[in-house]
Structure 1
Amino acid sequence: MSTANGLRAVAATRYVTPLREGGSLPGLVEADDLGMYVLKFRGAGQGVKALVAEVIVGELARALGFRVPEIVLADLDPELGRAEPDEEVQELLRASGGRNLGFDYLPGSFDFNPLVRDPGPDLAARVLWLDALVLNVDRSWRNPNLLLWHRDVWLIDHGAALYFHHRFGPGWRPAPDYRYDAGDHVMLPVAGPVTEADRELRPLLTGDLLRRTLALVPDEWLAQDGAFATPDDARAAYTAFFDARLATSSRWVDALEATRAARV
């Protein structure tokens, strides 16, 4: 079933098991379309802004040619938690009634390590560029958030990106610059020139693509931010960030190249 904003909607019918690799305690669920999904919960400590970041970054990445598991909106009945013996899981399910976020489960996938299997310099540079663009601080060698599935690299877990939105307030404007330390990025040791990735990807991130991507975020999630009068005002703030970030790409791309040169 498709929703008005373009993401498919499913209803969780069975909670299968917690996935304790993530700090937000995502869970594997079965849905009414008989699919299996990794569910990110609105009641987790990071709140709905982590889900907003997952949608924006995940769908932008997909549009730019990266492999990302299908993202769905997943409705959850908190009654599913009644049979769970783990009190932490019960509490999380009770706090997450309503619309959550699901990711297509990739059975048989495993963590990808670019030092064990070379992704190629072009893909590594493109991932590095993307993460710098969206300020994703959670793709280090300690926690790559990359999966290998059917011999392809898949990007997951973007809830820590767009960290500026935790500081939204009256009169918010994009900062002139944002701190992004690529020194621990998992792709840095094998990345090719980031200037080439910037030349390839930046023209693809058009205003129309950004508008279509931001429209995928449910209004109810954006409306929870008291800094804005309407969900569209919140979308305008994200648009302002991306416009400013792309306009200053030469600065942060040069910084990435300097970090890469120092590592090499």
Structure 2
Amino acid sequence: SHMLARVMDVPYHQMTWTCAGINHLAWFTELRRGGEDLYPLLFERSRDPEVWETDPIRFDIMHHFGRFVTESSGHFSEYVPFYRKRPDLIDKYCREGYLGATGFYADGWPQWRKRKDQQRRDIIAGKAELQLERSWEYASFIIEAMETNKPFVIHGTVPNDGLITNLPADGVVEVACLVDRRGIRPTRFGYLEPQLAAICDWNMRMYDLAAEACIQRSRKLAAQALMLDPLTAACCCPAEIKQMTEELFEAEKDFLPGF
């Protein structure tokens, strides 16, 4: 939301917004300044090539599906079948780092982990100071709200139970939640625009099947879950996905007892 305010050159305190969906696939369904709908301005600004380059996949999906998604361009591209299925599409839409670089996390995590481990060792040894600047991670805000009864709104992942009426009632969704001394209380969103709900629902069905595969210790269900993964299905046929699943189970067999 802060990034969108900067793109539109709107003071953040003047902007209100509504957001809902599922984890990694939540959507800004409203962007307003008073009575003004800010989406026309966002569409206009996004057509500027310099602005587009800051988040090409998120702006592209907005132009086709009508709403801006919360997840970064790179990570979002892994949840949909559109942007990573051919080398030419990766070249066209993906950029370095968090904007979609292939292998970014796989290549980066080992070095990130080493740096963090060294930072912790230096702090313990007294060679570095523990930095206490507050980040936008929710944990400290949740604790403060519950301990001091100072209300705070987060967008949390919670059981649906009718919060988003056109997503599975037994699924897990992401909606605005009020936090205070009484705990975390989700707010009802209602009906999510059908094109956005369809993307969420597709992933939710796959998650359910993957969870069932874990509960039943079923390789067959695990393979079927992967067959329903939007990006995997865009790149591979069912036979290839089944073979890949077996290869993954073989590679990770020490960590998957019972399968």
TM-score range (shorter-chain normalised) is: under 0.3
TM-score by length of 2: 0.28
Larger RCO (CA within 8 A; separation ≥ 6)? 1
Higher helix share: 2
TM-score by length of 1: 0.27
